[in-house]
């Protein structure tokens, strides 16, 4: 298995580690604690779902009005992690895109197997919508996302929202999602996969599913890759590295989403291992973050008014292109309603047409769309 040299240099200094019942307690002790938020970010803690779930709400200070929002679900193989793991990323999004980020502290397996973690995440989504007025959230621009186990839970939240008729979601961010307990793909059988090995993945799924692990009765809500019908799901961003054991299941899920007529961005990064968030400061990590941030920024911008603007622009551009085709096929006289063409030498005919016709239709509105 080939690994990007930049990541390989860092991985060479790390000891081999496998998650199992002997290492679980120590792994949990090493999880990050909450640092004070940046001065330009307001962070508020709420206890929801009758005290079972805690969420952190990140919001940029001094930004009034309703903001788009994302429910963020942390990674950790369903067995470790907390809502503070990705605070730096969430603050960056708040700052860059004037949005609200809600990070949920779902209960962990094996103490709380499926469906408890998923129900906690869905409860957080319902709470966001219910308290949208207090939180100043634009409910027409809510997405859900997560990394690794959080990505798998985010995919499951989208399936659950579809099954339970809401709340509506604008987008889903599935960053190296843990989505298939069957481990039947070629990449899932690779030996020596860094960060999240085959053995660790198996342990995480066994903790989450218990006696149902690998069986025919596992719900797609637990393992989204098992879902057959992927229609009517929100626009999706999927990302995985070629040095990740989850690679093949993620590529397959993204492909099937696209085949189900879901708008999909699928990014496969050469030589990149699982969990790039563990490697801040690398040039490759910065490039990967920039790709993700670009999707988040575009998704946050597309509320109902922006979608309407995009439709208007598309409609005007289609008309412009039709006019251009008419001009090329039948001559400029047919386009200008029988009026004579511009004098020879004043403008080239096609250049005049583009200036007076196509740009008049498209240019004034196109800047309204990111």
> What whole-number distance in Å separates Cα of residue 358 and Cα of residue 355?
6
Q: Is 279 in the same domain as 328? A: no
Q: Are 37 and 60 in contact (CB under 8 A)?
A: no
Separation of alpha carbons 344 and 366, rounded Å: 31
Window from 302-306, 348-352, 357-361 with minimum mean pLDDT: 357-361
pLDDT value at residue 361: 37
Q: What is the average pLDDT across 72-84?
A: 97
- pLDDT tens digit string along 179-229? 999 999 999 999 989 999 999 999 999 999 999 998 999 999 999 999 999
The domain boundary residue, chosen from 302, 320, 354? 302
Taking only the tens place, the pLDDT of each residue in 248-270 is: 999 999 999 999 999 999 999 99
Assign residue 260 the CATH number of its domain. 3.40.50.1820
pLDDT(50) > 70: yes
Choose between 160 and 344: higher pLDDT.
160
For residue range 27-36, list pLDDT tens digits in order.
999 998 889 9
Are 169 and 261 found together in one domain?
Answer: yes
Indicate whether 216 and 350 sit together in one domain: no
Which of the listed residues 250, 275, 302 is the one where a domain comes to its end?
Answer: 302
Phi, psi of 98 (to 5 degrees): 50, 60
Rounded Cα distance between 124 and 294, Å, is: 25
Domain around 331: 307-366
Q: Which residue has the higher pLDDT, 309 or 4?
A: 4
User: Same structural domain for residues 255 and 313?
Assistant: no
**Same structural domain for residues 288 and 349?**
no
Q: Given pLDDT bands bounded at 50, 70 and 90, which one contains residue 325?
A: low
Distance in angstroms between the alpha carbons of the first and the last residue of the chain: 38
Domain boundary pick from 255, 279, 302? 302
Q: Say if residue 190 is exposed, middle or buried (CB neighbours under 10 Å; 0-12, 13-18, 19+).
A: middle
Same domain, 312 and 185: no
Give the model's confidence band at 164: pLDDT under 50 very low, under 70 low, under 90 confident, else very high.
very high
- Give the Cα separation of 1 and 244 in Å (integer): 10
311 shares a domain with 298? no
User: Range with the lowest mean pLDDT among 68-72, 295-299, 307-311?
Assistant: 307-311
293 and 326 share one domain: no
Q: What is the pLDDT of residue 13?
A: 86
pLDDT at 337 > cutoff 80: no
**Structural domains in the chain (count):** 2
Mean pLDDT of 33-50: 95
Same-domain check for residues 231 and 319: no
Judgement on whether residues 121 and 254 belong to the same structural domain of the protein: yes
3-state secondary structure of 51: coil
What is the pLDDT, as a whole number, of residue 370? 36
Average pLDDT over residues 113-122: 98
pLDDT at 356 over 60: no
- Kindly state whether residues 291 and 315 are assigned to the same domain: no
Residues 224 and 339 in one domain: no
């Amino acid at each position: 298995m080939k690994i990007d040299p930049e990541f390989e240099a860092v991985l060479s200094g790390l000891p081999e580690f496998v998650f199992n019942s002997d290492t679980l307690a120590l792994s949990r002790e090493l999880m990050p604690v909450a640092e004070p938020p940046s001065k330009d970010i307001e962070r508020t803690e709420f206890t929801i779902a009758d005290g079972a779930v805690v969420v952190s709400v990140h919001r940029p200070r001094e930004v009034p009005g309703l903001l788009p929002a994302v429910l963020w679900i942390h990674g950790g193989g369903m067995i470790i992690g907390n809502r503070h793991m990705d605070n730096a990323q969430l603050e960056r999004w708040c700052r860059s895109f004037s949005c609200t980020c809600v990070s949920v502290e779902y209960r962990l397996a094996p103490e709380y197997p499926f469906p408890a973690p998923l129900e906690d995440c869905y409860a957080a989504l319902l709470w966001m919508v219910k308290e949208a007025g207090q939180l100043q959230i634009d409910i027409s621009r809510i997405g859900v996302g997560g990394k690794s186990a959080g990505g798998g839970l985010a995919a499951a939240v989208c399936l659950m929202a579809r099954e339970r008729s809401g709340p509506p979601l604008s987008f889903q961010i599935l960053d190296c999602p843990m989505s298939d307990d069957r481990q039947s793909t070629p990449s899932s059988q690779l030996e020596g996969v860094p960060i999240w090995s085959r053995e660790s993945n198996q342990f995480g799924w066994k903790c989450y599913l218990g006696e149902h692990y690998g069986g025919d009765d596992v719900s797609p809500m637990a393992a989204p890759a098992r879902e057959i019908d992927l229609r009517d799901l929100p626009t999706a961003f999927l990302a995985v590295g070629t040095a990740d054991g989850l690679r093949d299941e993620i590529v397959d899920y993204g492909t099937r989403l696209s085949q189900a007529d879901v708008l999909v961005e699928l990014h496969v990064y050469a030589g990149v291992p699982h969990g790039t968030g563990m490697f801040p400061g690398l040039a490759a990590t910065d490039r990967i973050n920039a790709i993700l941030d670009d999707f988040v920024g575009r998704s946050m911008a597309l509320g109902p008014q922006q979608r309407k603007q995009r439709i208007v622009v598309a409609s005007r551009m289609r008309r412009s292109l039709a006019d251009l085709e008419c001009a090329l096929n039948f001559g400029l006289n047919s386009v200008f309603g029988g009026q004579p063409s511009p004098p020879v030498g004043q403008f080239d005919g096609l250049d005049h047409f583009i200036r007076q016709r196509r740009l008049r239709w498209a240019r004034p509105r196109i800047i309204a769309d990111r």
